[in-house]
């Protein structure tokens, strides 16, 4: 199976424009950016509860602590939430009617219990299909997150920690080698 497409900034803007036309634009934008700006897996995003994201004073947390049952590999991990993502999530939270900490953070009208990893994969797939991006999948955000940070010079060990990988070779497979990265390397001499 081919790896998920890594998106350029221009392609991400197209995806966000498509999400803006959906029935739930604020939710869809927040879900997409959660993947692209935190590197979370789609199953982790689907497993989020409001209490995972919100502090007691209803502000967005700086970090999300995922339990073992919310992650792949049955091992808990911490997700760092950057300033840009916190602002986006705050917009989404303002659109919510209920802030019960035990409720799913992202949910659909059909599934009041929230998305499953599978239904969230399908939702991402519909958005990518409408954006006409061949090769994009629910894993594109995670690959783009890791590749973008690698392009900016972030070391593989830091990327490994951010991705929640146990093996460096796994993280290295996520990095999409591109012309920009190669040019930057050559110009370091």
Instruction: Give residue-wise pLDDT tens across range 37-90.
Output: 999 989 999 999 999 999 999 999 999 999 888 888 778 889 999 999 999 999
CATH code for residues 9-141: 1.10.443.10
Distance CA 66, CA 2 (A): 28
Give the pLDDT of residue 186: 78
Asked if residue 25 has pLDDT above 90, the reply is yes
Domain residue ranges in the chain: 9-141
Distance CA 97, CA 79 (A): 25
Contact call for residues 148 and 37 (beta carbons, < 8 A): no
Contact call for residues 176 and 36 (beta carbons, < 8 A): no
Distance CA 186, CA 147 (A): 18
Give the pLDDT of residue 37: 95
Instruction: Give residue-wise pLDDT tens across range 78-133.
Output: 999 999 999 999 999 999 988 999 999 998 776 567 899 999 999 999 999 999 99
Asked if residue 138 has pLDDT above 70, the reply is yes
Helix boundaries (H) for 21-110: 25-38, 42-47, 50-53, 83-95
Question: Phi then psi for 160, rounded to 5 degrees?
Answer: -60, -45
């Amino acid at each position: 199976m081919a790896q998920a497409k890594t998106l350029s900034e221009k392609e991400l803007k197209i995806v966000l424009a498509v999400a803006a036309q959906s029935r739930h634009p604020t939710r869809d934008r927040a879900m997409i950016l959660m993947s692209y700006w935190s590197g979370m897996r789609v199953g982790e995003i689907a497993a989020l509860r409001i209490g995972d994201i919100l502090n007691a004073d209803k502000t967005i947390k700086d970090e999300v602590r995922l339990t073992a049952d919310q992650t792949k590999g049955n091992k808990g991990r911490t997700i760092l939430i950057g300033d840009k993502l916190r602002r986006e999530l705050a917009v989404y939270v303002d659109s919510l009617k209920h802030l019960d900490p035990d409720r799913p953070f992202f949910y659909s009208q059909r599934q009041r219990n929230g998305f499953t990893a599978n239904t969230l994969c399908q939702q991402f797939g519909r958005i990518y299909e409408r954006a006409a991006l061949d090769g994009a999948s629910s894993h594109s955000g995670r690959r783009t997150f890791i590749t973008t940070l690698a392009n900016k010079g972030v070391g593989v060990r830091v990327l490994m920690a951010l991705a929640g990988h146990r093996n460096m070779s796994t993280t290295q497979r996520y990095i999409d080698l591109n012309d920009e990265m190669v040019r930057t390397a050559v110009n370091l001499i």
